[in-house]
Amino acid sequence: MSQYKLIHCNINGKDVEKMVDVRASLTDMLRNEYHLTSVKKGCEVGECGACNVLINGEAFNSCIYLAVWAEGKRIRTLEGLMSPDGELSDIQQAFIDETAIQCGFCTPGFIMTAAEILESGKLYTDDELRKLLSGHLCRCTGYENIFRAVKKTMYRRLGKEIDF
Amino acid sequence: MYDMKALYEAESVQDAIRLRLEHPEAQIIAGGSDVLVQMREGKRSGKELISIYMIDALRGVSLDEEENLRIGSLTSFSHITRDPLIQKYCNVLGEAVDQVGSPQIRNIGTIGGNTCNGVTSADSASTLHAYEAIVELTGKDGVRRIPIHDFYIRAGQVDIRPDEIQTAILIPKASYENTFGHYIKYGMRNAMEIATLGCSVNVRLSADRGTIQRCRIAYGVAGPVPMRCPTAEATANGQRPSGELAGRFARAVIDDINPRDSWRASKAFRQHIAVEMAKRALTRAVELAGGEMA
Amino acid sequence: MNKVGRSEVRVDGFDKASGRTKYYEDRIPAGALYVRIKHAEIAHAMVRSIDTSTAEAIPGVVKVLTCFDVPDLPFPTAGHPWSMDPGHQDVADRHLLNRHVRYWGDDVAVVIAENEVAANQGVRALKVEYDPLPFVLDVQKAMEPGAPQLHERFPGNILKHTDLRKGDYQAAIREPGLIKVEGWYDTPTVQHCHIENHGCFAYEENGRIVVVSSTQIPHIIRRVVGQALGRPWADIEIIKPYIGGGFGNKQDALYEPLCAWCTTQVGGRCVRLDCSREETFVSNRVRHAIRFHIVTWLRKDGVIAARKVECFSNQGAYASHGHSIVAKAMGSFPQHYPCDNMECDAWTVFTNRPAAGAMRGYGMPQASFADESNIEDCARALGMDSYEFRKKNIMPQGFHDGFSGNTNYYDSYRQCMAKGAAYIDYERKKKEFSHDTGDIRRGIGVATFWYNTAVYPISLETSSNRMQLNLDGTVTFQCGETEIGQGADTAYAQMVAEAVGLKSYRDVHVKSCQDTDITPTGLGAYASRQTYVAGFSIRQTADILRGKILERACQETRQAVGNMDIVDGMIVRKNDDAPLMSLKELAMTAQYDPVHSQHITAESTYTIRNNAYSFGCTFAEVEVDIPLCKVTVKNIVNVHDCGKLINPALAEAQVHGGMSMAIGYGLSEQLIFDEKTGKPLNGNLLDYKLSTFMDHPHLEAEFVENAEPTSPFGTKALGEPPACSGAPAIRNAILDATGVAIDRTPINPHVLFAEFTKAGLIHDDWREEE
């Protein structure tokens, strides 16, 4: 009765393959098969953004993405942002330094979207940044310090002076 | 883990057609942002799915030999917004789908899925109606093209035959040429929102920009399916753009639209904002076309 | 003091930023069984029967348990400290599953299965037959004679009625020439919306039950699970890992008792019970919708002569925190704007809605909305400026409340308002905006609040903690006041480092995870008390630890105890500051002493018989698009006097979150119910309008740091206060912009459409034609 499929993909830079239940969401696969528990479940219908991961460089809510669609894709989770020797990336450090973290539950999803924004190499206006980050709900921070962390890192990466 | 009876994965359009004929009860899933949510809610639980998501041939925007804009049905909203052809010929469509849900939803959501689920609140639908888009369906006997107006049968039901899948949406050159449009989404918050009402207006001005040669307006959520407003359009066609005209034009939509009372919004409220949005959208469309509101 | 008062980064920041922090779901062992709940799809009924046969036949379903299987042991759920006085104990009106369904979403059965899909299928396959009963959703209607009755023990649906009397209201209002300002103010049912839903898992170990739960209050949950299962409390072990927010929802026993019972029904195998977002909205707790009726009598010189306040609190189906919330709301009035003649009444009333419990602010966002709306209308009735009227009437410096023992030691209100007015540029903008007459108009509003820090003298206030000197000179710290995202652990680390004399707050290892078998008993995270109450016991335990360290140091250094101090991790001689030995040397020497080995630890309990006023205000600037019925908050500032800040950056961050919640409360959030069926209509994150990243302006948080004399660290409440005054400030700004006073929240486009139509600001001629 159960239907399984062998799924090959690249997760956080490593080629992997596993037999996956075709009924699984990508969240299920990442959490249960690969123990990547930074992928959080807050609604399971694509409304909160806690399960957000990057697939081929774009942000997706993994809860409403079938695991079988991961075939051949490059997937990145928060676990993949830290360097192999345990050093945090600049955006992770900015979340700490700007007090952009409280309960921490929305944090992984937010940081992955921020990673996509920053890797675009573009300088966004405040309104554009707010829109790009609007796929994540947070009840602790009022988004204020998250905004500051992303904006500061964007300016720093582009070597520009920040204007707040 | 979804309560799914079976999953059939199509690798090509022909494969999808074969699977549809083999599994008539199965539901097609494109990006899944509606189907999977319904499956989790219990509405579609225990059902079979045919996934067409991996058919890359259905992605991308191009100009066909007649210079109609051709949007592959699986093109995601974010790719439509970023597409240079869309930006050049029908920027309003890119702006409209850039207001769907959230960035992540715009990465998974497809224009095919947005139209095939037949809901009136789809952010793409009013603009596609206002541009008289053509829906391309491919079945065992080949390709069928129908106007988007005819594609919508009733709320939640569209004209797809048992052997077909939607393969593209076309915007005819005659619709987009020299035409400028504006879309206003009314929501209760600024992101992660279903439209309370969506209003898309486009205009083509005369060479001297003194006359509205052609005005089109369409709404989402002003009725059970997306709809055009012929009375309002007739009011504006051939007229000189002005604040007074915008007011008359906007007032005329009341004769065309048919919103309903629901817990999301009352009919009276939807009518009220429909008029205001028509006025503002026309004004903006005229400005984009280089005209001035006298 | 140099370890506190600094913006240190969070002690849990690295793990949270790297994704390795473990929440309850990340700790569930593989193979745990899934528990799914069958929720009633009717607002009020008796369950006649449940046919479980189809569900039981589904492969993977292990067991189906219904409301006919549960023990008849009623239990309370409120996260209040236990009271030895039976008259002061919480109302025990809950069963694990219910035959008497009291709201749409009530729990009637569970399916336990080997996997998620089978559990969900099982729930859908249950056939429940009901004997329907009439239902009631509205407080006033529930109080009418002949209304549907929810609980036999509470006739007329009244859970409780209390009053406050001061002077002689009836005599006072006979004074000639008084101006009467009367209003009814409605606040909505809203939900906490922490991003991590509640969930837990349970298993048996050596004959006892272990529950790992997303809760704010592990020690209280232990007691409630014991009560619900009829087991000695010590048979229960609750483990609380990191949690993804709580905001009061998790200050209640949610599904821990049911989950614990389920493990006992499957031979102690591990069972997991994960709430979906939809369940969180409907079947956890909500904020009380409170309706207020206020009559204020003013003298022409702006003095409040008399005031009458009636509060009607919608409790929903079960008692939970019950009357405590509206009692707190009512109690705020006589102190906020003291006047000689007051008559206040509060009722808590059962209705067929989801149970209301604790939520950030505990009655104050409701009270503040009503009070500050009415006060605004008073100012306008007198033709006085809003800000000036408040300055004239608000609680003065030196005000003392005999019941709580609180004193307003400083002129905090006026200091906060002055700072807020300066930030928002009150005078200038007020003048400028008064000229707006078009479709788009701007306005400025102000609102204030006060808040009690802790729960003394209503309930027990106790705090315990343990400190252990490690061999490297660091200190491991445990206490029962929990980290729920607010940053408590970081504040504790700073206070411990300060009190013991360590070099850095990084030298304190806070055991964030509470385990009721191990962690010193504390009451958890609620009220706005963690930093305040933990401060007392931290100071006390640190003194004990220091005493032990210095005694040992005396043996090693032959210096008198009184001649030594601990500074930055070194034991120093006081008269010349000479370093004598490091804490590391001392710990190693003590531990490995072959004759008198010593493991240096300290533990103590402090009963806090104190409370403290916390104050603040919001100034909001709005832009109203009248034809579109839309409000945009352009500028907003909260100013708080919460005493000395232990960590300014964390304090500021906490204020942002509260301001965001207040903006939602004012403009968009509301759980709505179908009048015909009682069914909740928008219990999901798409239809419930929580503010998104695009719905806020910059949030400005400022402070007035008046040291609180009762606190060892000069600190007092901040957790909840930021959520209190935002909504009325926005309401008053909309009034300022448009002249339309709106006496309910959320002030969403539907409400604005109705109100602007009534006020003649918008006019749809076609509506008359139809």
Q: What is the ipTM of this complex?
A: 0.98
User: Quick check: helix, strand or coil at residue C512?
Assistant: coil
Is residue A124 within 8 angstroms of chain C, CB to CB? no
List CB contacts of C471: < 8 A, sequence separation 6 or more.
C584, C587, C588, C591
Using the Cβ of A56 and the Cβ atoms of chain B, whether some distance falls under 8 Å is answered with: no
Q: Which residue of A has its CA nearest to C22?
A: A37
Stretches in chain A below the pLDDT threshold 70? 1
> Which residues on chain B are in Cβ contact (under 8 Å) with C685?
192
Dist. CA C89–CA C79, nearest whole Å: 11
Mutate to test the interface with A, among B41, B102, B105, B190 (most CBs of A within 10 A): B102
Chain A positions in Cβ-Cβ contact with residue C18 (cut-off 8 Å): 38, 78-79, 81-82, 88, 92
Q: Which of A44, A61, A68 lies closest to B9 in CB terms? A: A68
Q: Does A155 touch chain B (CB under 8 A)?
A: no
Q: Is B191–C628 a contact, with Cβ atoms under 8 angstroms apart?
A: no
> Residues 98..127 of C with a Cβ closer than 8 Å to B: which?
115-117, 120-121, 124
Cβ atoms C658, C360 nearer than 8 A: yes
Is it true that the peptide bond before C148 is cis, omega within 30 degrees of 0?
A: no
**Closest-approach residue (CA) in chain C for A83:** C18
B40–A contact, CB cutoff 8 A: yes
Question: What average pLDDT score do residues B184-207 get?
Answer: 97
Cβ of residue A123 closer than 8 Å to a chain C Cβ: no
Inter-chain touch A22–B7, beta carbons under 8 Å: yes
- pLDDT for the residue A1: 55
SS (H, E, C) chain B: CCCEEEEEECCCHHHHHHHHHHCCCCEEECCCCCHHHHHHHCCCCCEEEEECCCCHHHCCEEECCCCCEEEECCCEHHHHHHCHHHHHHCHHHHHHHCCCCCHHHHHHCEHHHHHHCCCCCCCCHHHHHHCCCEEEEEECCEEEEEEHHHHEEECCEECCCCCCEEEEEEECHHHHCCCEEEEEEECCCCCCCCCCEEEEEEEEECCCCCCEEEEEEEEECCCCCCEECHHHHHHHCCCCCCHHHHHHHHHHHHHHCCCCCECCECHHHHHHHHHHHHHHHHHHHHHHCCCCCC
CB-based burial of residue C462 (10 Å sphere; 0-12 exposed, 13-18 middle, 19+ buried)? middle
Which partners does chain B have (≥3 C-beta pairs < 8 Å)?
A: A, C
Kindly state the DSSP code that residue C64 receives in the 8-state scheme.
E
Of B1, B29, B37, Cβ closest to residue A46? B37
Q: Does residue B26 surpass a pLDDT of 70?
A: yes
| Cβ-based neighbours of C519, under 8 Å, separated by 6 or more | C218, C219, C478, C479, C480, C511
And the tokens for C573?
Answer: 């001689």
- In tens, the pLDDT along B260-294 reads 999 999 999 999 999 999 999 999 999 999 999 98
B258 touches chain C (CB under 8 A): no
- What digits encode the pLDDT tens for the residues A47-64? 999 999 999 999 999 999
The DSSP output letter for C681 is: S
> Which residues from A are below 8 Å from B107, CB to CB?
58-60
CA distance C487 to chain A (A): 7
DSSP C8: P
Alpha carbon of A14: minimum distance to chain B alpha carbons (Å): 22
Residue C66 in contact with residue C52, Cβ under 8 Å?
yes
Structure tokens at C496: 């411990």
Where does the pLDDT of residue B76 fall: very low under 50, low under 70, confident under 90, or very high at 90 and above? very high
Q: Please list every residue in chain B whose beta carbon sits closer than 8 Å to the beta carbon of residue A58.
A: 78, 107
> Looking at the complex, does the CB of residue C193 fall below 8 Å from at least one CB of chain A?
yes
List the single residue in B42, B190, B273 with the smallest CB-CB distance to C628.
B273
Chain-chain contact of A141 with C657 (C-beta, under 8 angstroms) = yes
Chain C 546-585, residues with CB within 8 Å of chain A CB atoms: none
| Residue A138: closest C-alpha in chain C | C195
Q: Select from C277, C689, C755, C762 the residue whose CB has the most chain B CBs within 10 Å, as the one to mutate to test that interface.
A: C689
The answer to whether the pTM exceeds 0.90 is yes
Give bridge partners of residue C234 from the DSSP assignment. Answer: none
Chain C positions touching A143 (Cβ under 8 A) are 656, 660, 693, 696
CB contact under 8 A, C196 and A103: yes
Strand B165-171 vs strand B180-186: parallel, antiparallel, or unpaired?
A: unpaired
Q: Which two tokens stand for residue C491?
A: 């504040």
- Residue B6 contacts C where some CB pair is shorter than 8 Å: no
The answer to whether C121 contacts B45, with C-beta atoms less than 8 Å apart, is yes
B138 touches chain A (CB under 8 A): no
Point out the residue among A77, A93, A137 whose CB comes nearest to the CB of C685. Answer: A137
Query: In this complex, is the C-beta atom of B11 within 8 Å of any C-beta atom belonging to chain A?
Result: no
- Give the pLDDT score at A152: 98
Q: Is B192 within 8 Å of C120 when comparing Cβ atoms? A: no
In chain B, what residues touch A135 (CB-CB under 8 Å)? 101-105, 191-192
Shortest CB distance from B104 goes to which of A22, A46, A68?
A: A46
Q: Hey, what's the torsion of the CAs at B111, B114, B120, B124, to 10 degrees?
A: -20
Please list the rounded mean pLDDT of every run of 10 residues in chain C (770 residues).
94 98 98 98 98 98 98 98 95 98 98 98 98 98 98 97 98 98 98 98 98 98 98 98 98 98 98 98 98 98 97 98 97 97 98 98 98 98 95 96 94 97 98 96 98 93 97 98 97 98 98 98 94 97 98 96 97 96 98 97 96 97 98 98 98 98 98 98 98 97 97 96 98 98 98 98 82
- Rounded to the nearest integer, the mean pLDDT of chain A is 97
Q: Which residues of A touch B2 (CB under 8 A)?
A: 23-25, 66
